Chains A and B, each alone.
Chain A
Amino acid sequence: MDVQSWTYLLVGITFSIYIGIAIWSKAGSTKDFYVAGGGISPWANGLATAADWMSAASFISMAGLISFMGYDGSVYLMGWTGGYVLLALLIAPYLRKFGKYTVTDFIGERYYSNVARVVAVICALLVSFTYVAGQMRGVGVVFSRFLEVNINTGVIIGMLIVLFYAVLGGMKGITYTQVAQYCVLIFAFMVPAIFISIQMTGNPIPQVGMGSTLSDGSGTYLLDRLNGLSQELGFADYTQGSKSRIDVFAITLALMVGTAGLPHVIVRFFTVKKVSDARKSAGIALLCIAILYTTAPAVAVFARTNLIETVSEQPYESMPQWFKNWEKTGLLSYDDKNGDGHIQYNANATTNELTVDRDIMVLANPEIAQLPNWVIALVAAGGLAAALSTAAGLLLVISASISHDLIKKVFKPNISERNELWSARLAAVFAVVIAGYFGINPPGFVAAVVALAFGLAAASFFPAIILGIFYKRMNKQGAIAGMVVGLSIMLFYMLKFKFGLFDGGKTTVASLQENWWWGISPEGFGSVAMLVNFAVSLIVNYFTPPPPEDVQMMVEDIRIPQGASAAQAH
């Protein structure tokens, strides 16, 4: 069977599974809709969290990014896993004990203020929308390459599927589809990685293969070979990277803290029965994530070495079929500058003839390594699973923020359970449509902004949540001031150094690099904004009155696991 038939078959089967699960797990109450009735087992929640977390960016883009960044790519590996330590130790158990429906709910109740709640809702919507647009785009890319449909049709099909199971099943439907999606995506990621690892190093474990000797009998270590190739072509040493250490530090911190502050991740821990289950499912989630995250750097090394060895100084005419396929999508292009018919690939912009989009490395990898057709199709199904699972989680946050936090808690407190459930569904429809719109008409900055969503989460939520749990005297004035200042300074830095808004537009961005504060890039600035948020919160808090007695009691209460399951029994 050819690749396309295999893809239709595998994507068809996986999509039917997702829809079947949605019908089986229809949400009957708001509690079902927001937190899956609060009765998810830690294993199911761990798997669902892992799928929720690993987006199109993790599955499709990350290994590709790392393969072009080398050591610098470690910021993603550590940043997107280390945040789970913060989640498991500092956030998940306490928010589970708090036991409401959303993160914004926690901010609203803990800081006894609807102003705090609305500020938090704005942060949540900002973070979630930027993030979800990137997912829909990922769906479109996979569809257009593997099923050869128009990218917009791909986005619309993706929208309809997500709409169906998110609107019908709410959190309950999403949770069980995410469990299925985790299985699909991890299988799809591991199979080609293991194949290629055996091919290149003879070791079936990619994590070990990455540090082994090549199987071509030369006895050279794979990483040494890659460093050698990189030097020859004028790139930085793969194991060294080229970013400054302070920037690596700052970006890693921003991503870690941002991860721990992302509403769609935190809310998953509201769905388990007990506080100890929240901790346990965070551990299981990270374990599941680590399988992919420790394989990705190996895939990056394999892909990079394979790519260079396949194309460098080779005649264009002899390029394999995958090269031509990706050329058609425009994600790979060759420009024979010196007219010799060979491909010169190097770090020098004036003589380099090959442009490779980072996003295609994972998708093209099985083809580059000449793996069987079903493996290539499997990767397409895995990419879709990763994008859809994350999109669904984000849509739920958007819909819950609107129906629960804005409508129920601020505008219409008397709304009936039935109507709240309907407004949650309507809000989900509305969110899907907006996400789809941005997927079809991506504002040029989507990719850039997805990385910055972490900065925004780090700058706004993280300090407010941590102080809310660990500092009893923290009051609303401090928290609100901290969130507003943290978010503003982050937005300012992003607009200034990422979009050149104050210095004459995008073209000036590169030249502004020298003016970065302390040499920290916009991607890493979330860590500075977070510290500013902490500082402002504590200073304002010092000069304003302590929170009321009942709020302090509540803080005491969330620190002790006892009674979490009792509250469960309505």
Chain B
Amino acid sequence: MKQKTTHKKHYWKQNLRYLGILLSIWFFASYGAAIVFKDTLDGILIGGFPLGFWMAQQGAIYVFVVLIFVYIRLMNTLEKKYGVGD
């Protein structure tokens, strides 16, 4: 029982750490690259796209999709490790 409680604690702590990292990426991809630093990044051209504009209308969305699937993988592994999955 005791061990189970500590497992749950570790699981939750590690989950919060993942959330912190992934949400920072989420923030920088959208609010950072596509809005705050948009003008700077626009100086770089990828094909016909200014990079900042591309991040805002394409790139950020791809990052979002990848982030969720990374989180799914991380959590499935974590839940197996601590035996708290369903």
What residues of A have a CB within 8 angstroms of the CB of B54 in the complex?
Answer: 211
Sort chain A's interface into a size bin.
35 or more
Binary contact track B7-49/A, C-beta < 8 Å → 1, others 0: 0100110010001001100100011001110100010001111
Complex CA distance for A556 and B64, rounded to whole angstroms? 28
A294 at the interface (CB under 8 A from B): yes
| B48 and A78 contact, CB distance less than 8 A | no
Residue of B nearest to A79 (CB): B30
| A85 and B58 contact, CB distance less than 8 A | no
> How far in angstroms is the closest Cβ of chain B from A470?
8
**A279 and B71 contact, Cβ closer than 8 Å, known pairs A286-B65, A559-B12:** yes
Partner of A85, one of B26, B36, B56, B84: B26
Partner of A239, one of B53, B60, B67, B68: B53
| B31 and A249 contact, CB distance less than 8 A | yes
| B64 and A82 contact, CB distance less than 8 A | yes
A297 at the interface (CB under 8 A from B): yes
> How far in angstroms is the closest Cβ of chain A from B11?
7
A195 at the interface (CB under 8 A from B): no
**Total A-B Cβ pairs within 8 A:** 132
Partner of B68, one of A210, A248, A282, A560: A282
| A245 and B42 contact, CB distance less than 8 A | no
Stretch from A178-186, A219-227, A449-457, A507-515 at the B interface? A219-227
| B61 and A560 contact, CB distance less than 8 A | no
A270 at the interface (CB under 8 A from B): no
By secondary structure, the B interface counts as helix
Binary contact track A240-259/B, C-beta < 8 Å → 1, others 0: 00000100110011001000
| A290 and B61 contact, CB distance less than 8 A | yes
| A74 and B57 contact, CB distance less than 8 A | yes
Interface size counted on chain B using CB atoms at 8 A: 42
Partner of A224, one of B42, B48, B64: B48
Binary contact track B47-79/A, C-beta < 8 Å → 1, others 0: 111100110111011101101110110011001
**A207 and B58 contact, Cβ closer than 8 Å, known pairs A221-B48, A561-B85:** yes
What residues of A have a CB within 8 angstroms of the CB of B57 in the complex?
Answer: 66, 71, 73-74, 77, 294, 297
Partner of B67, one of A85, A224, A297: A85
What residues of A have a CB within 8 angstroms of the CB of B86 in the complex?
Answer: 274-276, 561-565
| B38 and A245 contact, CB distance less than 8 A | yes
| B64 and A239 contact, CB distance less than 8 A | no
Interface centre among A77, A89, A245, A561 (most CB of B within 10 A): A89
A81 at the interface (CB under 8 A from B): yes
Complex CA distance for A564 and B38, rounded to whole angstroms? 43
Complex CA distance for A382 and B57, rounded to whole angstroms? 23
**A78 and B30 contact, Cβ closer than 8 Å, known pairs A249-B35, A294-B58, A560-B11:** yes
| A297 and B12 contact, CB distance less than 8 A | no
| A212 and B64 contact, CB distance less than 8 A | no
> How far in angstroms is the closest Cβ of chain A from B31?
6
What residues of A have a CB within 8 angstroms of the CB of B47 in the complex?
Answer: 208, 211-212, 221
**A287 and B65 contact, Cβ closer than 8 Å, known pairs A560-B11, A561-B86:** yes
| A239 and B50 contact, CB distance less than 8 A | yes
Within A262-297, which residues are at the interface with B (CB < 8 Å)? 274-276, 279-280, 282-283, 286-287, 290, 293-294, 297
A90 at the interface (CB under 8 A from B): yes
What residues of A have a CB within 8 angstroms of the CB of B36 in the complex?
Answer: 245, 249
Interface centre among B23, B26, B48, B75 (most CB of A within 10 A): B48
> How far in angstroms is the closest Cβ of chain B from A229?
14
What residues of B have a CB within 8 angstroms of the CB of A189 in the complex?
Answer: none
Complex CA distance for A90 and B58, rounded to whole angstroms? 24
| A290 and B65 contact, CB distance less than 8 A | yes
Complex CA distance for A556 and B79, rounded to whole angstroms? 16
What residues of B have a CB within 8 angstroms of the CB of A212 in the complex?
Answer: 47-48
Complex CA distance for A279 and B78, rounded to whole angstroms? 14
> How far in angstroms is the closest Cβ of chain A from B9?
10
Complex CA distance for A157 and B85, rounded to whole angstroms? 46
Complex CA distance for A449 and B36, rounded to whole angstroms? 28
| A283 and B58 contact, CB distance less than 8 A | no
| A280 and B72 contact, CB distance less than 8 A | yes
What residues of B have a CB within 8 angstroms of the CB of A256 in the complex?
Answer: 30
What residues of A have a CB within 8 angstroms of the CB of B38 in the complex?
Answer: 71, 245
| A294 and B64 contact, CB distance less than 8 A | no
Extra 10 A-B pairs, beta carbons < 8 Å, given A213-B48, A245-B35 = A74-B57, A212-B48, A239-B50, A249-B36, A276-B76, A279-B72, A283-B65, A556-B8, A559-B15, A561-B86
User: Which 9 residue pairs of A and B lie closest in terms of their CB atoms, listed nearest first?
Assistant: A221-B48, A74-B56, A297-B57, A283-B68, A211-B49, A211-B48, A211-B47, A239-B53, A274-B86
Q: Which of A's residues lie within 8 Å of B, judged by CB?
A: 66, 71, 73-74, 77-78, 81-82, 84-85, 88-90, 93, 207-208, 210-213, 221-224, 239, 245, 248-249, 252-253, 256, 274-276, 279-280, 282-283, 286-287, 290, 293-294, 297, 556, 559-565
Listed A/B pairs (13) with beta-carbon separation below 8 Å: A74-B53, A78-B61, A85-B23, A212-B48, A239-B42, A239-B53, A245-B35, A252-B30, A252-B35, A280-B72, A286-B65, A559-B8, A562-B83
